[in-house]
Amino acid sequence: MTMKQQEMIINKIKDTLVRAGSTFREDQKEIYRQAIKKETLPRAKWALETILEDAEVAEKNRSPLCDDTGIPHVFLEVGPNKSVTGADLEAIRMGVAEGLRELPGRPMGIKGDDKQRLDQSGGLDEDSAGVLPAPILIKQVEEDVLRAHVLMLGGGPAIRGITHRVFHKHSVSVVTDEIVKRASEAVALLGCSPCALSVGIGRSQFEATALMIEAMVYSDFTVQSDLEKEITDKVNESNVGPLGLKGATSVLATFMKVGPQRASGIRVVCLRPSCCFEPRMASVEL
Amino acid sequence: MKKIVTPITDEAINQIAVNDMVYLSGYIYTGRDAVLPKVLELIESNGLKEAGIDLQGSVIFHTAVSPAGVGPTSSNKLEIESSIPVLSKAGVKLHLGKGELSSKTIEELEKYNSVYAVIPPVTALLESKTLERKVVAFPELGMEALHLLKVDGFPAIIAAAHGKSLY
């Protein structure tokens, strides 16, 4: 890799991370406009309007949507004639670090050895780039492209997220009812609703979580399958509302990815009640 | 939208009720789970004045202050919610955060004529309405130190006041 190629990747990833942390996508803005129109409770409408106003200011200033700027997650799509080298991955890592400094990300990386990182006794890294990215996910795609998606995953949804098996009893509704039950409890406790429910269903905890990330990557608030819409509608019956203030809009959409399954009595479900700014995501071709 | 300006008087608190949407302006303190227990220790040891802290008519915003900005953390975390009665007794008139509080805390708020408001986690918008910021005490806590902000028109909704709540 030449210096110029490395610099190109670093700059593209840096810019993509800043966009992910500061910008609502068009479908995200549209779903908020629709929710504001439908919401009848004045305080719920006010909360939605304030969140959308925040997104406008953040986009204009290229500044964080939320002070919990999140943990960077990178998802790579690799086409048939493309390759990813160790040098590419290093350039991506450097781009993430530069992006965190520019956003700026909240400096919340914990220093120290295993024990110090567990009990937080090692102190905080003052550098925003001390927040290291999660392991990169790579997906083989048919399109001949090398594309990076940068997601910024906040702490609130991580507290309320659940990855656990469901005994499906050979019934789709048993699985979806359990997702609705878990999501309703999680959304009520989150505080930063309305949510986008991100769901992955796989054969192991790893696969389910990877599928949950993939569901966010390919998400579109204005396109919902029957199952996704059913889950959204049922969780909205909980009447948690924006910021827990009651109202019709507890969940804006559901993004679900069902992976390959095996002959077994269980499905492993990863559920993340993504907060009112998520999925904070932007994409770039490298 | 009603306007609330610090320092907040008892008369001003009597004018506001649950469900009121307000704009908050003036100087406000910030603190969350790391620093609030230390502020309680100062109250107990009569050390507030020496530390340069004046809680009369004040606001405590449950947030860190980092280069990324400010935004509410959950007010029902143990160290935060348990600080509310003591801080209210010491003069704090408005606690600013997010999430549901217990009925016991709501009773304590009423006892000291203090209120709780929910502020949306709208960091970019709040940044545009923050005029000054400085560390007041416990600088070793970094972004979780006790800060003082000067703000102009922070949006919030009164979620608990006079024994009533939105929840």
- Best of B22, B122, B166 to substitute, by most chain A Cβ atoms within 10 angstroms, is B122
A130 touches B: beta carbon within 8 Å: no
- Chain A residues whose beta carbon lies within 8 Å of the beta carbon of residue B64: 67, 106
Minimum CA–CA partner of A48 in chain B: B120
Q: Report cis status (omega within 30 of 0) of the bond before B120.
A: no
In what order do the strands lie in the sheet containing A71-78?
A137-140, A71-78, A146-153, A280-285
Q: What pLDDT is stored for residue B1 in this prediction?
A: 87
- Chain A residues whose beta carbon lies within 8 Å of the beta carbon of residue B67: 104, 106-107, 128
- Chain A residues whose beta carbon lies within 8 Å of the beta carbon of residue B155: 46, 50
Predicted confidence (pLDDT) per residue in A213-222, tens digit: 999 999 999 9
Minimum CA–CA partner of B121 in chain A: A66
- Chain A residues whose beta carbon lies within 8 Å of the beta carbon of residue B127: 57, 61, 63
Closest CA to A138 of A213, A64, A224: A213
Asked if A245 lies within 8 A of B143 by C-beta distance, the reply is no
Minimum CA–CA partner of B157 in chain A: A43
- Chain A residues whose beta carbon lies within 8 Å of the beta carbon of residue B123: 54, 58, 63-67
CATH of the domain at B70: 3.20.130.10
Predicted confidence (pLDDT) per residue in B96-155, tens digit: 999 989 999 999 999 999 999 999 999 999 999 999 999 999 999 999 999 999 999 999
Predicted confidence (pLDDT) per residue in B3-61, tens digit: 999 999 999 999 999 999 999 999 999 999 999 999 999 999 999 999 999 999 999 99
Predicted confidence (pLDDT) per residue in A122-134, tens digit: 888 999 999 999 9
- Best of B66, B70, B80, B102 to substitute, by most chain A Cβ atoms within 10 angstroms, is B66
Burial of A41 (0-12, 13-18, 19+ CB in 10 A): middle
Minimum CA–CA partner of A104 in chain B: B68
Which 8-47 residues of chain A touch chain B by CB within 8 A? 22, 42-43, 46-47
Measured between alpha carbons, how far is B154 from B162 in angstroms, rounded to an integer?
22
Q: How far apart are the CA of B119 and the nearest CA of chain A, in angstroms?
A: 9
Asked if B68 lies within 8 A of A53 by C-beta distance, the reply is no
Asked if A54 lies within 8 A of B125 by C-beta distance, the reply is yes
- Chain B residues whose beta carbon lies within 8 Å of the beta carbon of residue A191: 72, 74, 98-99
Burial of B10 (0-12, 13-18, 19+ CB in 10 A): exposed
Q: How far apart are the CA of A67 and the nearest CA of chain B, in angstroms?
A: 5
List the structure tokens of A266.
Answer: 């269980």
The answer to whether position B128 is within a domain reads yes
Picking from A103, A191, A277, the nearest residue to B99 by CB comes out as: A191
State the distance between the two ends of chain A, measured CA to CA, in whole angstroms.
13
- Chain B residues whose beta carbon lies within 8 Å of the beta carbon of residue A195: none
Burial of A40 (0-12, 13-18, 19+ CB in 10 A): exposed
Burial of B100 (0-12, 13-18, 19+ CB in 10 A): buried
- Chain A residues whose beta carbon lies within 8 Å of the beta carbon of residue B72: 191
The answer to whether position B167 is within a domain reads no
Predicted confidence (pLDDT) per residue in A67-117, tens digit: 999 999 999 999 999 999 999 999 999 999 999 999 999 999 999 999 999
**pLDDT (tens digit, 0 to 9) for every residue of chain A, 286 residues total?**
899 999 999 999 999 999 999 999 999 999 999 999 999 999 999 999 999 999 999 999 999 999 999 999 999 999 999 999 999 999 999 999 999 999 999 999 999 999 999 998 888 899 999 999 999 999 999 999 999 999 999 999 999 999 999 999 999 999 999 999 999 999 998 889 999 999 999 999 999 999 999 999 999 999 999 999 999 999 999 999 999 999 999 999 999 999 999 999 999 999 999 999 999 999 999 9
Measured between alpha carbons, how far is A234 from A168 in angstroms, rounded to an integer?
19
Q: What pLDDT is stored for residue B87 in this prediction?
A: 98
Asked if A61 lies within 8 A of B124 by C-beta distance, the reply is yes
How many separate domains does chain B show? 1
Confidence of residue B167 (pLDDT cuts 50, 70, 90): confident
The answer to whether position B166 is within a domain reads no
Domain positions in chain A: 1-23+62-153, 155-280
Residue B86: domain span? 2-161
Give the bridge partners for B164, in sequence order: B161
Asked if B123 lies within 8 A of A65 by C-beta distance, the reply is yes
Q: What pLDDT is stored for residue A123 in this prediction?
A: 86
Q: How far apart are the CA of A236 and the nearest CA of chain B, in angstroms?
A: 17
Within A96-224, strands assigned E span: 137-140, 146-153, 162-167, 195-202
Q: Specify the residue for token string 């203090």.
A: B114
